Structure 1
Amino acid sequence: MPANPVDPAIRDAARLSVAPMMDWTDRFCRGFHRVLSRRALLYTEMVTAPAIIHGPRDRLLRRDGAEQPVALQIGGSDPEELARATALAAPFGYDEINLNVGCPSDRVQSGCFGAVLMKTPDLVARCVAAMIAESPVEVTVKCRIGVDDQDPEQVLPDFLSRMRDAGVSRVTIHARMAWLEGLSPKDNREIPPLNYPLVHRMKAAFPDMHLSINGGIQPGMEAEQLTHMDGVMIGRAAYHQPWDSLGAADTLWGDAPPFTDPTGAALAMRPLIEAWLHDGARIHNISRHMLGLFHARPGARLWRRTLSEGASKAHTPEQGLALYDAALDQVREASEAA
């Protein structure tokens, strides 16, 4: 069985990671998150294996070198297809390839991948073994604690054992069941109760594996969770409260944060935004990921409103930058007046 390569630097980065989130963690979002934290491991949106094989691969897998460390998440359930997709993705230089065994959406279920694969761990084992054989970087898995009427106390340790036997030694566990019948994807992110103690017990039961916890992680919870786990993955909080989630994240590695306040981060984003706009992006492609930067701070509402309402009228790079500058000026004025 081919070895699954381990990069100590990427494992170190996995101390804190930002979850793969459909329609959210595109390259503009990842570029923004990288400005906030130099150390956190970032993930792409899930890209299906068929899309990588047959679709516009250069567009789907495009990334900026400054995003690193960054992992690619792939969705699929056919070992040969996943192996081919992994090989085709290799030249794009991602630091990790992750298999999605956690997404509960209807679209994912109909394709027989995502969380529904928790019901077929032998198939998942064959999938990851095939991916490992084609990957120059570590292949990892993101999963749930179980689905539907499964008993997570039995299912999760069995799943982890099978992953380990197949060569996977790093897994991120979303600490919720996925209820594939009767709940929307949104509800599946909120309604099934969190079971952190079970995930903590998995780390004690599998000390040789690198295990991260995901699900409901709010700003300020990371350090406590790291007393139980090797890593913490944050999701929606990193998107809706990016400064609170990532502004001081680098202190988890003993580093000073890049900025002392969100205004500094916003200023640092400007040249990156300018480059993206001149490369063909529209300001909405970028600013939609930044609406929460000033969450709960003076000017937050003006920032969101200015960027949201003005983006559709900003058709040129110059107009996009002018809109961004206007929104930031409003935040500064609100902050000075507070």
Structure 2
Amino acid sequence: MVKPSSFSPSALEPTDKGEGTSKTPSPARRTVQCTLFNVKFGAHRTRLPPVKAEASPTKRTRSQYSAKEDEAKDETEEPSKRSKPASSAALTTTSAAPEYHHRGPFHQVTRPEFCSTYEVEGLPDAEIYYKPDFISAHLAEEWRAELDRLSEWYRPKLKVYGREITQSRDIAAYSTAPGLHLKYSGHPVELHAPFPPLLNHIASLISSDDCLGSEVRFNHCMLNRYEDGSIYIGRHSDNIENKVIVTVSLGADRSWIMERKQPRKGSTQPSSEKVKKRWMLAGGSLLVMQGQTQKFYTHEIPKELKIKTPRISITFRQLVYDQ
């Protein structure tokens, strides 16, 4: 079981005790503060660009985007009874994202212990795994609050049946390096690079031998923010080019529905057996979709007006582009 540590990039405490120091910070003192930052967030954080004074610690650089790429949809998640929460004990990991080239190669989840333990049954022709206790609900809420303060949140304008509408939920998207592009519903997504420290930390936990396996890595991450149960995602399927899609749920529990696709009217394809499955995605859970899942199934998060608390989903993907 993964044992992630609590992660909260708060400001560094002053180290000046008033003993023989000047009012103007010296280069040596700045070096000490940098060292303290590395100790708190991990040595691999040094790959992030330096942050100027009084600038937002989460501000990223917007990468270029193109309308030539395939459309990519929203995020997802899945089922099972909630297990005993994972411990918040410290866990040392290396970076699971920026060290690797954004074009891959990418690998699917094959770790036998994970697949056999967390496989979701009752969905033929799909490869879906659901781990309800990836982290504790308490740590999930800490992470949600931290991600809620990111500066890159925005509400995109989408084209639906020829009309431009403003999406009901906020998103924030990141890539491991500049140059990746993403578009859905006619909207070129604002991609920022690299991953913020907390997202890189979470990716490291997922891409560890205690979870999916160290060979399973990602180059893109999409955050979706739900203020309450009135915010939802309609039925859809993601691009089949996404070899592995992993979603971590933070905050409120929300229902998740998967349904087998049926041939369109007038199609000569034979009808498939109707399959529909619904379960609750717990705060702190992890969902994996891979294989032919997107070809055969749609997924959605429906409206649930009785839910009054917020939720953030973190969806990591392996976006594959032509060389």
- The bucket for the TM-score relative to the shorter chain is under 0.3
TM-score (norm 2): 0.24
TM-score (norm 1): 0.23
> Whose helix proportion is higher, 1 or 2?
1
Q: Which of structures 1 and 2 has the larger relative contact order (alpha carbons within 8 angstroms, sep 6+)?
A: 2
